[in-house]
A and B are shown apart, each in its own frame.
Chain A
Amino acid sequence: MGWWSEPAWIALALSLKVACWATAIDVVIGVALGYLLARGRFPGRELLDAVLTLPMVMPPTVLGYYLLVVLGRNGWLGAWLLRVFGINLIFTWQAAVIAAAVVSLPLILKSARTAFETVDLQFEQAARVLGIAPIGVFLRVTLPLAWRGVLAGALLAFARAMGEFGATLMVAGSIPGKTQTLSIAVYEAVQAGQDDSANLLVLITSLTCVTVLIVANKLTPNRHQQP
């Protein structure tokens, strides 16, 4: 067996896969909702923001419990998926993706909302008057002027998804090579007294997170956002 089949690397690969998928989902949902919260004028706007921020402040175990209630065999979504498609999400890596996506969503949502709010409404109005339809205005003006904030939020969400533990453990379990992500593998290694393994896992996790945070800091808009 080569070094790549070591449990540590398998766990890292799984963590990266889960975090990438979760971030991709969060970017789509976070950008759409962030724009809605920044520009939309509808009742309950701040309530929606608060509800969507909840995963950031709730204990991950509570969140995991909610996810089980929704996605489990008896949950309203889980039962439907099982009946119609024969899909069972619980204890799969896809469940880990959903858990990580829900936990990390507030990070990109907040960044995206702030980034969109700092884009002067006049630029969007100018583009409209020049004959461009709303989707074109968003893609050609709003997003290019807000992309730094959106990307910084995406990297934070990625880092948070990499570190997800509580909710993931509850909905995806800890099946080595299947749902045992890096952070769960650390817990298992320490529990089993495998210090060498734990040291390696901790080192890999720390380096990954530091790298992501450095990149996120470099991209975070500062006072010179528009030179």
Chain B
Amino acid sequence: MTMLIEVDINKTLRSGARSFELRAKFASDSQRIVIYGASGAGKSQLLKAVAGLMTPDSGRIVLAGRPLFDSAQRINVTPQRRRIAYLFQDYALFPHLNVRQNIGFGLRRGWFNPASSFDHAEIRYWLQAFELDAVALQMPHQLSGGQRQRVALARALIAHPQALLLDEPFAALDPSLRARMRIELDALQRRLAIPMIVITHDPDDVRAFGEHVLRMDGGAIAHLADVADLELAARGEA
């Protein structure tokens, strides 16, 4: 049976004299995968490889039966053709574009940005769904943390991607806001039934989204049976 996602990649990252070996291998059928590990464990690199923003030295990445990367067959789909949504840790909203332009960015192909009044049924839908109508013409720096995350999610989801990758999705938010945004994301994922991979170092994220939990340490993946294992691992680490 084909898995939803299969990853088996190798990459040696060099920075000056130091080098880091990424040896990530896992397969999952779950729509809610959480990769848990300390910072520097290679989680972000793994996520970037899935999105096509980092090219592994060797291996393969298959999403829903579609090979995105396969060094043996010389397949390496460009990031713009992978149809993957990526939520950056600090959201990476385009600072020179307003909320409407940010959300509609991917709808407008070619060499020019959408106009500041760019209108589209999908944009109207997301503005309403995320209660962003009032700030549609504002710039990213004028938004609250929660609004920023919603804009980034809307921008990522508007083109109907095949998977949603989230890099420490709540780390940039106030602790008081985190619980609320977790509930929002949880409901959103269930409604859209979109496969989701979350990388995090926060056990609360694991509890909220971890249907299939993987632990990453020193560039390698270790499998965990369930959340209880994680609690043990977290305590052992502390």
A interface residues with partner B (beta carbon < 8 Å) = 120, 122-123, 125-133, 135-136, 139-141, 144-145, 226-227
Contact = CB atoms under 8 A, between A and B. Distances in A.
B79 A129 contact: yes
Contacts of B230: none
A145 B96 contact: yes
Contacts of B112: 139-140
Given A120-B92, A125-B53, 18 more contacts: A123-B94, A125-B48, A125-B86, A126-B92, A127-B94, A129-B80, A129-B84, A129-B85, A130-B156, A132-B80, A132-B105, A132-B106, A135-B111, A136-B111, A139-B112, A226-B95, A226-B141, A227-B141
Given A133-B80, A135-B111, A227-B141, A127 B105 contact: yes
A133 B90 CA distance: 23
Interface residues of B, number: 31
B175 interface: no
11 contacts: A126-B86, A127-B105, A129-B52, A130-B80, A130-B159, A131-B106, A131-B109, A132-B80, A132-B106, A132-B109, A139-B112
6 A-B pairs with the lowest CB-CB distances in the bound complex, closest first: A130-B106, A128-B79, A122-B92, A126-B92, A129-B86, A131-B80
Q: Which of A120, A140, A145 is most buried by chain B, counting CB atoms within 10 A of its CB? A: A140
A95 to B, nearest CB: 35
A227 B143 CA distance: 12
Most interface-central of B52, B90, B111 (chain A CB within 10 A): B111
A140 B111 contact: yes
A125 B94 CA distance: 11
Given A122-B88, A136-B111, A128 B53 contact: yes
B109 A136 contact: yes
Nearest to A125: B53
Nearest to B93: A126
B113 interface: yes
A131 B110 CA distance: 10
Contacts of B86: 125-126, 129
A136 B105 contact: no
Contact of A131 (B88, B90, B113, B159): B159
Nearest to B105: A130
B218 to A, nearest CB: 25
B33 to A, nearest CB: 18
